[in-house]
């Protein structure tokens, strides 16, 4: 029942936050409450670009990316931290953007699938892709593609963490990303391939 509710959760927030004009910029002051009906000014570096934004406190990072900034590469699957489709890198660390309030990430560097290629050393590789993206293409590591942006960000984040080395460890470390097409075998192949590439660890690059 909950799974169904989660899967069919509406992808459009009823409070679409366009345009994000800086009309009523309210800066956050430590210890001072921001009333519930006020938007607050935050700054984020998203895919290398500095952004000054106004957000309602209840806006998730996922909704900010998709609804306000039109960065729709990041997907809303369950919206409850169970499927991993919304995975992005925050300060180089993979997290579920659906469970992060944007206001709490004030000052952070965010990398979405749109910015992944820019992380690899010396810019994008062949076809303007991050090595992980190229490996996903090479290994046919997706079918419908809906989970793919999350799989990509998660696998890059996982490699930054550096704890998974074997196939079993990759599978365990990637268990927060669900693929309903069942492309798991090829996803692990792609990740293994990138890991095996000479010096790949340095080239993948964190967000900073």
Partner 1 sequence: MNRFDYVRAGTVAEAVQAFAGAPGAQFIAGGTNLVDLMKYDVTRPGRLIDITRLPLGDIAEHDGGLRVGALVTNANLAYDARVRSRYPLLADAILAGASGQLRNAATTGGNLNQRTRCYYFYDTATPCNKREPGSGCAAIGGVTRIHAIFGASESCIATHPSDMCVALAALEAVVQVTGPEGDRSIAFADFHRLPGDDPAKDNTLKPGEIVLSVDLPAADLSKNYTYLKLRDRLSYAFALVSVAAALELDGDTVKIARLALGGVAHKPWRNRQAEALLVGKPATRETFQAAADFVVAEARPQSENAFKVELARRAIVRGLSQAAAGTPQSLTDKRIQ
Q: How far apart are CA 62 and CA 172, in angstroms?
A: 25
Instruction: Identify the residue among 1, 4, 21, 196 touching partner 1 (CB under 8 A).
Output: 1
Q: How far apart are CA 71 and CA 64, in angstroms?
A: 9
Instruction: Identify the residue among 66, 75, 76, 94 touching partner 1 (CB under 8 A).
Output: 94
* CB burial string 8-23: b at 16+ within 10 A, e below: eeeeebeeebeeeeee
Min dist CB 164 to partner 1, Å, is 9
From residue 2 to residue 21, the character string flagging contacts with partner 1 as x (rule: CB under 8 A) and all else as - is: x-------------------
Q: How many CB atoms lie within 10 A of CB 208?
A: 11
Q: How far apart are CA 174 and CA 187, in angstroms?
A: 10
| Total of chain residues touching partner 1, rule CB under 8 A | 45
Q: Is 66 helix (H, G, I), strand (E, B) or coil?
A: helix
Residue with tokens 């490699």, as numbered in its chain: 159
Instruction: Identify the residue among 103, 110, 132, 194 touching partner 1 (CB under 8 A).
Output: 103
Q: How far apart are CA 87 and CA 98, in angstroms?
A: 8
166 touching partner 1, by CB under 8 A: yes
From residue 109 to residue 148, the character string flagging contacts with partner 1 as x (rule: CB under 8 A) and all else as - is: ----------------------------------------
Q: Which residues bind partner 1 (CB under 8 A)?
A: 1-2, 28, 30-37, 40, 57-58, 60, 79-81, 84, 87, 93-96, 98-101, 103-104, 154, 157-158, 161, 163, 166, 168-169, 171-177
């Amino acid at each position: 029942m909950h799974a169904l509710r989660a899967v069919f959760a509406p992808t459009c927030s009823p409070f679409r936050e366009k345009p994000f004009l800086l009309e009523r910029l309210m800066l956050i002051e430590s210890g001072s409450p921001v009333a519930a009906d006020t938007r607050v000014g935050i700054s984020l570096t998203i895919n290398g670009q500095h952004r000054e934004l106004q957000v309602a406190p209840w806006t998730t990072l996922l909704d900010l990316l998709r609804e306000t900034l039109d960065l729709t590469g990041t997907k809303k699957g369950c919206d409850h931290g169970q499927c991993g489709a919304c995975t992005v890198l925050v300060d180089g660390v993979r997290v579920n953007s659906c469970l992060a309030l944007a206001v709490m990430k004030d000052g952070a560097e965010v990398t979405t699938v749109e910015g992944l290629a820019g992380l690899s050393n010396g810019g994008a590789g062949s076809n303007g892709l991050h090595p992980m993206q190229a490996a996903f293409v090479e290994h046919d590591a997706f079918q419908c593609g809906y989970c793919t942006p999350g799989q990509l960000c998660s696998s890059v984040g996982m490699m930054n963490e550096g704890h998974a080395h074997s196939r079993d460890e990759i599978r365990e470390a990637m268990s927060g990303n669900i693929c309903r097409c069942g492309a798991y075998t090829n996803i692990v192949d792609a990740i293994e391939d990138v890991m095996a590439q000479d010096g790949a660890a340095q080239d993948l690059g964190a967000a900073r």
